[in-house]
Amino acid sequence: MNYSHDELISREDRLSLNLVNRRKIVIDRGEGSKLWDIDGKEYIDCIGGWGVANIGHSNEKIIDAINIQTKKLITCPSNLYNKVRSELMEKLVCITPEPLTRVFLCNSGTESVEAAIKFTTLTTGKSEFIAAIKGFHGRTLGSLNLTHNKKYKDDFRELLLHNKVNFVPFNSIERIKSVITDDTAGIILEIIQGEGGVNVGSTDFFKEVREICDDNDIILIIDEVQTGFCRTGKMFAIEHHDIVPDILCLAKSIAGGLPMGAVIVNDRIDVSIGKHGTTFGGNPLVCAAAIATIDFLEKQNLAVITQEKGNYFINQLRIELKYISIVRKIKGMGLMIGIELNRPVKPYVDMMMNNGLLTIPTGLTVIRLLPPLVISYLEIDKIVKIIKLVLNNK
Ligand SMILES: Cc1ncc(COP(=O)(O)O)c(C=O)c1O
């Protein structure tokens, strides 16, 4: 049966729980950094699957890897050994800094944070955490404790931990020092706060946090769910600051669009059988996709290329939007970019969409851009042109 654009929208609106603001377009297919709706209208995709589509939509290498693995084996629980799974773990250990040597595979970003919380508590025997104001770490009941924004938490207050998480301003080392107690188990931070508005942390801050953790027997958890896999111009954003956490949380783009999360830990982390687990985590199908994704990132040199493209993109935005009075700031690293306005961004995001550009409103006043890293310079120029046109339309 052929449904029209409007019929598909009303069917999905009728059937799905009302949990997200949907844009009124029905996406049918994607390739590289482009998406098409069911009527064939083309969009440049700076939503990038909310930071999932780093290697581009429908990447041939992922399609091949999935096709081959599907015919061989799709599921294999973690109590049985599997070659593809161990190959991925070896790759993850290889591309992360040296003290990170062991891996737990799961299915999403929030699951990676849930695991990090449990591993931290198991290791230290302590239960308090320090997290950053405007930080985002997921929406399930463990990770939600560490997410700052009240709008995600207020309705669940009775289900959350009380007095166990101290929120401090991002980049404020003094405030971290002031809230440490004998029961502080872990500090969790993003390197660049994504949901919080593309806020970039400083090298001094991260280095001092690492020292504080070492001096106080505190586990440092870095959440690179959004910044990982070349998004910021390095394989992992920790490399910008030359720090290594005790636990690194990964997800989003790790498996070329398939659902996967991963936690990579150092030897401090001490857990034992039965303390955590997952049914789907580490299944060979998704592992094969992740191996192909990492191969693609490495062979295409996407860390370096993203840094170059990101510098160009941010520079062009700064030049072209310089005289637009509603633009407050252009921020970001690599291809994780925020445009902060002095007013709500929603109408501008809608206008961009009508002009063939998909972007993410973040908070009230930031437009976030997370394009696939395979985006071309021509497309970047086109995006800057659309953004300029729309923001000039006050
Ligand atoms: C930094 C960070 N951590 C965790 C999450 C949660 O990931 P997921 O939506 O896969 O559960 C997100 C999602 O946006 C994120 O940006």
- Asked if the structure places residue 234 within a domain, the reply is yes
Backbone angles phi, psi at 128, to 5 degrees: -100, 150
Closest-lying ligand 1 atom to the alpha carbon of residue 261:
10
Mutate to test the pocket of ligand 1, among 136, 193, 224 (most ligand atoms within 8 A of CB): 136
- Asked if the structure places residue 26 within a domain, the reply is no
Residue 2 pLDDT = 85
Q: How far, in Å, is the centroid of ligand 1 from the Cα of 110?
A: 6
- Asked if the structure places residue 304 within a domain, the reply is no
User: Which tens digit of pLDDT belongs to each residue from 149-171?
Assistant: 999 999 999 999 988 999 999 99
Q: How far, in Å, is the centroid of ligand 1 from the Cα of 116?
A: 13
**Alpha carbon distance 200, 171 (integer Å):** 9
CA 253, 255, 260, 265 dihedral sign is: negative
CATH at residue 157: 3.40.640.10
Q: How far, in Å, is the centroid of ligand 1 from the Cα of 109?
A: 5
Residue 212 pLDDT = 98
- Asked if the structure places residue 16 within a domain, the reply is no
Q: How many residues in total does the chain contain?
A: 394
Cβ–Cβ under 8 Å, residues 120 and 186: yes
**Alpha carbon distance 149, 146 (integer Å):** 9
Domain extent, residue 186, equals 62-299
- Asked if the structure places residue 210 within a domain, the reply is yes
Q: How far, in Å, is the centroid of ligand 1 from the Cα of 231?
A: 14
**Alpha carbon distance 48, 53 (integer Å):** 5
**Protein residue whose Cα sits closest to atom 8 of ligand 1:** 109
- Asked if the structure places residue 52 within a domain, the reply is no
Mean pLDDT of the chain: 97
> Confidence band (pLDDT; 50, 70, 90) for 368?
very high
> Confidence band (pLDDT; 50, 70, 90) for 394?
low
Percent of the chain with pLDDT over 70: 100
> What residues have CB less than 8 Å from 61, skipping those under 6 apart?
55, 256, 292, 293, 295, 296
Q: How far, in Å, is the centroid of ligand 1 from the Cα of 353?
A: 24
Alpha helices in the chain (DSSP H): 5-15, 48-51, 60-72, 83-95, 109-124, 150-153, 173-179, 203-216, 284-299, 302-320, 346-354, 377-392
Instruction: Tell me which residues have their CB closer than 6 angstroms to ligand 1.
Output: 50, 108-110, 113, 136-138, 190, 194-195, 223, 225-226, 251
Mutate to test the pocket of ligand 1, among 225, 227, 231, 247 (most ligand atoms within 8 A of CB): 225
Q: How many domains does the chain have?
A: 1
- Asked if the structure places residue 141 within a domain, the reply is yes
Q: How far, in Å, is the centroid of ligand 1 from the Cα of 262?
A: 12
**Protein residue whose Cα sits closest to atom 3 of ligand 1:** 137
User: Which tens digit of pLDDT belongs to each residue from 79-112?
Assistant: 999 999 999 999 999 999 999 999 999 999 999 9
- Asked if the structure places residue 125 within a domain, the reply is yes
